[in-house]
Structure 1
Amino acid sequence: MEIRFGKRSDIGQVTDIFNYYIEHTNARFEEMPLSYEDRQAWFSQFAGDSKYQIFVAVENGILLGFACSQPYRATPAFEDTVEATIYLAPEARGKGLGSILYSMLFEALGNQGVHRVLSGVALPNDASLALHRCFDFREVGVFQEYAKKNGQYISSMWLEKALDIEFSST
């Protein structure tokens, strides 16, 4: 298995993984599949020398999962904060791949001036919560029934992780 920075040629398989979660779970709130074109624009935010990174796991040409960091909100107040996302292909779950991908992502972010990493987990999702706890994410709170998909309300646990950078007001 190869763990590497994502490439544009991965967009199709990344889109397939997103769409699996849209169609079969409440982990994504969209009700319609994402398009390849939409994911191309989304992918353009990632760069190896930035706060916004994407790592993929590939085996025999098949993308098994990815972890990425994205802007939390588009305002200067949040420039040292990122939102982390991780998705695994159904056949790759429960094999430790999420830990490998998150390890790579957080190691890379350690040199990019990131102060906080946030993540929202649609409930219930014990496996994702356990993964985040293993990486020292702290539970911040639950947004109760704040989203609606297919006629059902969804709650999400929000978590945060501190990274080691100092803020100077000078």
Structure 2
Amino acid sequence: MSVAVRHAERRDLEAITALYNHFVETTAVTFDVGAFTAAEREPWFAQFAKAGPHQLFVAEMDGAFAGYAGSMAFKPKKAYSTSVETTVYVPPEIGGRGVGRALYERLFSALAGEDVHRAYAGIALPNDASIRFHQRFGFKEIGTYREVGRKFGRYHDVTWFEKGLP
């Protein structure tokens, strides 16, 4: 199967939202606790552009939606403008087939020409697969917020990782 990665378009929002909702409703990898409609995700989607540090890419396998990755503002204050937070979501049934890798390769290739100094990723624990994935991309662990989020009746830690960008 071939993986193609391209900039996300408005027509992708339904599929992006459905995939994200799967993780919202069944896992603690995100601390959102309720599903969204595509309309509710419009403001989130609006932050992305085809140029600049805030980008969103989708992957397709044999023409079908297969995941997304993006870079968003790390924090809203101006001094943080050269830092981004990254995210990647791939349907569990196709994990391990190179989709996440293709998405991050495209994302970091796009960020290479931008005024971005650091990328950050927060990983809710436990999530060994995501930790290994981010480490393969050069992310280094920088610290853990203990019991920072409560979902599904229990507290979860979040370990933060950073990656220097050229």
Residue 22 of structure 1 corresponds to 24
Residue 150 (structure 1) shift: 2.1
Q: Are the equivalent residues in 2 in contact too, given 1:67–1:102 (CA < 8 A)?
A: yes
| Deviation (angstroms), 1:40 | 1.3
Q: How does 1:35-114 map to 2 (within 5 A)?
A: 35-114=37-116
Shift of 1:81: 0.3
Work out whether 1:130 is the aligned partner of 2:132: yes
1:35: Cα distance to partner?
A: 1.9
Shifted more, 52-61 versus 138-147: the winner is 52-61
Matched residues, number: 164
Write the deviation string for residues 60-107 of structure 1: whole angstroms up to 9, x where unpaired: 443111110000111111000000000001222111211111010001
TM-score, normalised on structure 2?
0.95
- Provide the C-alpha distance between the structure 2 equivalents of 1:142 and 1:116, rounded to a whole number of angstroms: 18
Structure 1 distance, partners of 2:57, 2:94, is: 15
The offset of 1:4, in angstroms, is: 0.5
TM-score normalized with structure 1 length: 0.93
CA contact (8 A) 1:65 1:92 kept: no
SS of residue paired to 1:136: coil
Q: Is 1:33 paired with 2:69? A: no
Q: Contact conserved, 1:3 with 1:101, CA < 8 A, in 2?
A: yes
SS at match of 2:47: coil
Q: Displacement, 1:38? A: 1.9
Distance 1:98 1:59 in 2: 12
Misfit runs of 4+, over 3 Å:
none
User: How big is the alpha-carbon RMSD for the aligned residues of Structure 1 and Structure 2?
Assistant: 1.0
Q: Secondary structure at the match of 2:144?
A: strand
Tell me if 1:116 matches 2:118: yes
Cα distance between partner residues in 1 of 2:34 and 2:63: 27
Q: Which runs of 5+ in 2 are unaligned?
A: none
Describe the SS at the equivalent of 1:29: coil
Distance 2:67 2:94 in 1: 7
**For the Cα contact (< 8 Å) 1:142–1:157, is it kept in 2?**
yes
SS at match of 1:11: helix
